[in-house]
Amino acid sequence: MSLNIFNLCLLSFLALIYGSSLYFIRSDFEDGLIIINAISNGAVFISLLGVIVIHILWVIGLLEKINIKFRKYWLCFLTQSQKSSSC
């Protein structure tokens, strides 16, 4: 997934969080506000941590090796599933 698509998803998620936070603030439902903030902070933190890990793997060259191994595994998986469906 490219970084622009990731940014679009992250900003859309943050807009959803902003709207739901405004709703909970205006309706005086503090428990919902605490829950939505905890979940959203966790999701944003985990996604940004994932970007950092992927960037580190990309810089040291392991991402390309993982990508090649995944392609080989996926090709073997597809050929096996095609053989089993044709039998």
> Taking the complete model, does pTM exceed 0.75, yes or no?
no
Q: State which residues form the domain around 17.
A: 3-86
* pLDDT per position as a tens digit, 45-84: 888 888 888 888 888 888 888 888 888 888 888 788 777 7
Q: What total of structural domains would you count in the chain?
A: 1
> What's residue 25's pLDDT?
82
The secondary structure of 55-77 as a DSSP string is: HHHHHHTHHHHHHHHHHHHHHHH
CA 79/CA 86 separation, integer angstroms? 11
Q: How far apart are CA 9 and CA 3, in angstroms?
A: 10
Alpha carbon distance 68, 75 (integer Å): 11
- pLDDT tens string 22-55: 888 888 888 887 888 888 888 888 888 888 888 8
